[in-house]
Amino acid sequence: MNALMNNYQPLPISFTKGLGTRLWDAAGNEYLDALAGVAVTNVGHSHPRIVEAIRDQAGLLLHTSNLYIIDWQHKLAERLTGLANMQRAFFCNSGAEANETALKLARLYANRKGVRQPLVVVMENSFHGRTFATLSASDSPSCQAGFEPLVEGFIKVPFGDLIALQAVTQTHGQRIVAVLVEPVQGESGVQIAPTGYLKALREHCDTQQWLLMLDEIQTGLGRTGRWFAFQHEGIVPDVMTLAKALGNGLPIGACLATGIAAQLFGPGSHGSTFGGNPLVCRVGCTVLDIIEQQGLLANAARQGQALLAGLREALGNHPAVRSVRGHGLMIGIDLHQPCRHLMVEAAQAHGLLINVTRGSTIRLLPPLTLQALDVAMIVKTLRALISSDQSLVGAPTIDSPSR
Ligand SMILES: *Cc1c(COP(=O)(O)O)cnc(C)c1O
């Protein structure tokens, strides 16, 4: 009997306890969590300072509504805008809602400019969430199938392709008001934008007077070794969305804006009942404290490099492996053959939790607290699993990165 709707396909395992980089199942088996709840528990499970912040705040105050001033919301907004060099924040409860907020800003911007049928440029293979606007902005047939009619107003170009952007500028430039892009496409298998791409997008948006809107829901908050992935390119977007790691497991999303984009909302134009309550905002501040005080940006950069180098050395020339990519602690290993259940379950049997996206890409998103011994364990386990699995080595089929 299953009283849940049938939209997930969970693995037959459940965890009862977590601490740092480790999880335990009911039988007491220990696992290295190299997925971190899909880039959520970035400072590790049950971090004592987070546990303390939740306990203390739960005993003080959970919710009052946005009809009143919420001090922790102001604090978190000041911290985030300071780190991002942006001006204002809006808080919600998930990534999809953060992107909805960004898309609503784009519509208001169009309205202000007098653009009647506005378009937002989005990328092939993007993922922005499951609400109607965000699934319409995503390039994922499986998210969209059956939910038509989709929300209008998106135009798609290949990720990383500036020539294609020039082409849509020629054909639709008058209607375009914004570009929405992930600095690294996570759900579609850790696709990393070419160096200079974000900077070129920034320049193009400046020239065209479009908003540059970055979806940093997966890449933000230290994942790539900087607070935000855009900081690798020395730019600042007009709008940025955050969620996943911001609450380390408590639901919170944020949309940051600067310049004209920070001025578009007025009283009543947007809102959320739960958004930015004292509990989640205090935990958000605590997450930022921990990242700062434990030096987790530097650790993510260092361990990310070590993990990428280790995996490339162990698997770079393996006949089953197409490529090994990474940006900080966001790592993808493309295999030639589909490997979903095989790899995930085999790794789990060896005490390692990983993820496979798009059928044949192993995705690693370990916590930012990862240590050298954990890196060694991941490399050793994946090398052993990939080498011992004959079904992974076959004639490479026709080249298509996203099978
Ligand atoms: C996870 C994710 C989202 C959606 O976030 P939810 O909290 O599941 O709504 C949007 N964009 C990116 C890049 C993501 O990784």
pLDDT tens string 219-255:
999 999 999 999 999 999 999 999 999 999 999 999 9
Euclidean distance between CA atoms 137 and 132, whole angstroms? 9
Give the Cα-Cα-Cα angle 202, 120, 185 (nearest 5 degrees).
Answer: 65
The single residue of 90, 139, 159, 215 carrying the catalytic annotation is 215
| Same-domain status, 206 and 284 | yes
The response to whether residue 278 sits with its C-beta less than 6 Å from ligand 1 reads no
The response to whether residue 217 sits with its C-beta less than 6 Å from ligand 1 reads yes
Euclidean distance between CA atoms 63 and 50, whole angstroms? 18
User: Which tokens sit at 227?
Assistant: 């607070």
Annotated catalytic, 91? no
Tell me how many domains the chain contains. 2
| Domain edge (last residue) among 242, 268, 293 | 293
Residue nearest atom 5 of ligand 1, based on CA coordinates: 95
pLDDT > 80? residue 341: no
Beta-ladder partners of 323: 334
| Same-domain status, 200 and 265 | yes
By residue range, what is the domain housing residue 68?
50-293
* Cis peptide bond N-terminal to 149, omega within 30: yes
Percent of the chain past pLDDT 70, that is, above it, reads 97
| Same-domain status, 188 and 231 | yes
Ligand 1 centroid from CA 340, angstroms: 21
The response to whether residue 189 sits with its C-beta less than 6 Å from ligand 1 reads no
The whole-number pLDDT of residue 400 equals 42
pLDDT > 80? residue 161: yes
| Domain edge (last residue) among 293, 324, 351 | 293
pLDDT > 50? residue 401: no
Q: Which region holds residue 358: left if phi is over 0, alpha if psi is between -120 and 50, else beta? A: left
pLDDT > 90? residue 342: no
pLDDT > 90? residue 390: no
The whole-number pLDDT of residue 1 equals 66
| Same-domain status, 226 and 350 | no
Q: How confident is the model at residue 319 (pLDDT cuts 50, 70, 90)?
A: very high
The response to whether residue 128 sits with its C-beta less than 6 Å from ligand 1 reads yes
pLDDT tens string 33-75:
999 999 999 999 999 999 999 999 999 999 999 999 999 999 9
Please compute the mean of the pLDDT values over residues 197-205 and round it to a whole number.
98
Q: Which region holds residue 325: left if phi is over 0, alpha if psi is between -120 and 50, else beta? A: beta
Nearest atom of ligand 1 to the alpha carbon of 216: 13
Residue 218 inside a domain? The answer is yes
| Same-domain status, 94 and 62 | yes
| Same-domain status, 222 and 171 | yes
